[in-house]
Amino acid sequence: MTKLKRDARAWVHRVKMGKARLWAVVEGKEFDTPYYERLLSESIEGEVRIMRAEDLVVDGVSAGGKSHVKKVFDLFESQGALTQRNNNTRIDVMFFMDRDDDEFLSKLVNNDHVHYTTHADVEAEIVAYADHAEAVSIAFSLPRTLARRIPLADSMSELAQLWEEWITLRIASARAEWSDTRFAQKSGINVPLDGPVDQDRVDAICARVVTACPNWEDIRGEAARHYASKQLSGEAQHLVKGKWMPWLLIRKVRAGVSDPRSLPTVSESYLLGILLANIDFKADWAEKTRIAVRVALAA
């Protein structure tokens, strides 16, 4: 059943009509709602309601993605509606966005009612904070003792290092506003995916970009320096897209058992769901969000 779309301008005035203390507007489709429902329920007292940005229509358009979330935010901010009151009850509207490459692009919104993921996106947060061993034990029907012997903990950092060139090309292409190559997908230059960089593929991509962006090599250098700074601070894994990770975890599980043919087929989306179900939302990692919410609710 298709979900009914709401006019965002009308919704600005409807948020204060319910019992919610906090409305959370989220960016994505599949995992954002359950992730933030659990995270925010541990962060505040009072009812939390989730609204997907794609279910709101702005100027006749409804869409997913960062640009549409920002349009909804701009609407609320312009009308002074981020904080509202219903009698003596205060209602706040916060916007929860994927960090993506916005730091490198200088596009982060500086507002107490906007909160970004620490990692690239919600899927990356799920992978970063889940109990990997417990999740793969459930997903692959493995004994916990065996699952805990599989080296899964540093997988995100490993992938950041393995796909350094792909990540650098991705953030550079975002700065160049060039989207011919699908950089959100798994590496298109590592052959095989866990193998070395194919320089011919890199050169082919760069040759296409430079025709549309003459200063491509300068931008590419800036992207490489950004990656290096993240690596130096131990944050290179923050540049890894979450949807890349299940592939690597599945590969490690298959390499870590004596008979991989005996394992059930596990889809990447299914594994992400199991990882989400195995996150401790009361753990210390969630304190950053709890603080951000408290600041917004007190602003």
Kindly report the pTM of this predicted structure: 0.94
pLDDT tens track, the chain, 299 positions: 456 788 899 998 889 888 899 999 999 888 999 999 999 988 788 899 999 999 999 988 787 788 999 999 999 999 999 999 988 789 999 999 999 999 999 999 999 999 999 999 999 999 999 999 999 999 999 999 999 999 999 999 999 999 999 999 999 999 999 887 789 899 999 999 999 999 999 999 999 999 989 999 999 999 999 999 999 999 999 999 999 999 999 999 999 999 999 999 999 999 999 999 999 999 999 999 999 999 999 97
DSSP characters over 186-224: S-SSBSSTTS-B-HHHHHHHHHHHHHH-TTHHHHHHHHH
In 157-173, which positions are buried (b, 16+ CB within 10 angstroms) versus exposed (e)?
ebbbebbbbbbbbbbbb
Type of residue found at 42 = E
Predicted confidence at residue 119, as pLDDT, reads 98
| Cα distance between the two ends of the chain | 39
Predicted confidence at residue 34, as pLDDT, reads 96
Q: Please say whether the beta carbons of 114 and 261 come within 8 A.
A: no
Predicted confidence at residue 145, as pLDDT, reads 96
Predicted confidence at residue 46, as pLDDT, reads 84
In 94-130, which positions are buried (b, 16+ CB within 10 angstroms) versus exposed (e)?
bbbbbbbbbebeeeebeebbbbbbebbbbbbbbbbbb
| Residues sharing a CB contact under 8 Å with residue 241, sequence separation 6 or more, in sequence order | 120, 121, 123, 124, 184
- Strand 22-26 relative to strand 6-7: parallel, antiparallel, unpaired? unpaired
Predicted confidence at residue 2, as pLDDT, reads 52
Nearest to 189 by CA among 174, 203, 209, 207: 203
Nearest to 104 by CA among 195, 172, 17: 172
